[in-house]
Amino acid sequence: MRIVFAGTPEFAVPCLRKAAAHNEVVAVYTQPDRPAGRGRGLAPSPVKQVAQELGVPVMQPENFRSAQAKAQLRALEPELMVVVAYGLILPQSVLDIPAEGCWNVHASLLPRWRGAAPIQRAIQAGDRETGVCLMKMEKGLDTGPVLLSQSIGIGANETGGQLHDRLSQLGAQVLGDGLGLLRAGIRPVPTPQPEAGVTYAHKLDKAEAKLDWSRPAAVLADTVRAFNPWPVAEAQLAGERLRLHGVVALDEAHHARPGELLRAGREGLDVACGEGVLRIRVLQREGGKAITAADFLNARQDLKAGA
């Protein structure tokens, strides 16, 4: 099949490779190069880098509002457009161009977690299951009918980064299944999403990373996992601003003020929360790298002595 692929971040790379394995990817659309790194030089997206490796032409329009951008896509005569974390809203006039429409690989079990950050929001909400949906796109935000889906469990200690990588591979598997059916002349049956259970995964904001000790420890632990590796949860503790990389919630009753350091030892720093206790195992001081609680205490003997 003649496929146009649209995607930008690392999450979309396995899907691009899967699409290119048994089909003719005639073009790849990706976001324009953006400033990155300390030098803030323009850097190509991960999808662009792989497209160049595969020898596929790359298109980088700012949007699809212009007649020229739409005409360029139409001239490619795509049978199908595959969209994975592209980062642009496609108008109906674009969705109508490919003969078989546009398919989207979305990292949640729709209609739960429509929107920009489904992986992190699932962990943050304490979900124990998520998955990938192959959806036929329509004008609404992630509202289209589901063609195929696959669910997986979320590990008790799994981070946003770890789940991202697993769902990225699962997305390629589900996309491959759908493309295989289409090549065989079998169109996957579109199943409308139910109206019940719709939730939105709003884009991550760095301001959300600041933890509120008055919240339950279990909620804070889920937030720390969800925000690893970005934006990384942070909190004020023992007179310092710390970034938290590894924590565990303890179901422990106490009468301490939220944010009070209860214990400090090799196992971690135990902090009183609105409910329960949060044990910090891996943390990062300002300007430093991620270290264990034991290494932190070697530098903060005052805490160790008072524990």
* Residues 201-241: tens digit of each pLDDT: 999 999 999 999 999 999 999 999 999 999 999 999 999 99
Tell me if 171 sits within 8 A of 15, measured CB to CB.
yes
* For residues 271-291, average pLDDT: 97
Which residue from 270, 217, 209, 214 is spatially nearest to 235, judged by alpha carbons?
209
Q: Which residue has the tokens 């979305």?
A: 106
Res 307 pLDDT > 90: no
Looking at residue 37, its pLDDT comes to 76
- What confidence category does residue 305 fall into, taking pLDDT thresholds of 50, 70 and 90? low
* For residues 97-111, average pLDDT: 97
* For residues 46-61, average pLDDT: 97
151 annotated to a ligand binding site? no
DSSP character at residue 275: B
Mean pLDDT score of the chain: 95
Looking at residue 131, its pLDDT comes to 98
Looking at residue 38, its pLDDT comes to 76
Res 177 pLDDT > 50: yes
* For residues 134-139, average pLDDT: 96
DSSP character at residue 145: P
Q: Which domains does the chain have, with CATH numbers?
A: 2-201 (3.40.50.170), 206-306 (3.10.25.10)
How many Cβ atoms are within 10 Å of 19's Cβ, its own excluded?
A: 28
* For residues 87-108, average pLDDT: 96
Q: Which residue has the tokens 């030892």?
A: 265
Residue-wise pLDDT tens digits, 237-258: 999 999 999 999 999 999 999 9
* For residues 54-79, average pLDDT: 95
Looking at residue 92, its pLDDT comes to 95
Looking at residue 306, its pLDDT comes to 46
DSSP character at residue 194: P
Res 185 pLDDT > 60: yes
Q: Is the link from the previous residue into 118 a cis peptide, with omega within 30 of 0?
A: no
* For residues 80-98, average pLDDT: 95
Structure tokens at 80: 């199908």
Cα(270)–Cα(272) distance, integer angstroms: 7
Residue-wise pLDDT tens digits, 11-52: 999 999 999 999 999 999 999 999 887 777 899 999 999 999
Looking at residue 41, its pLDDT comes to 84
109 annotated to a ligand binding site? yes
Residues listed for the chain: 307
108 annotated to a ligand binding site? yes
262 annotated to a ligand binding site? no
* For residues 154-176, average pLDDT: 98
Choose between 146 and 139: higher pLDDT. 146
Structure tokens at 49: 């880098």
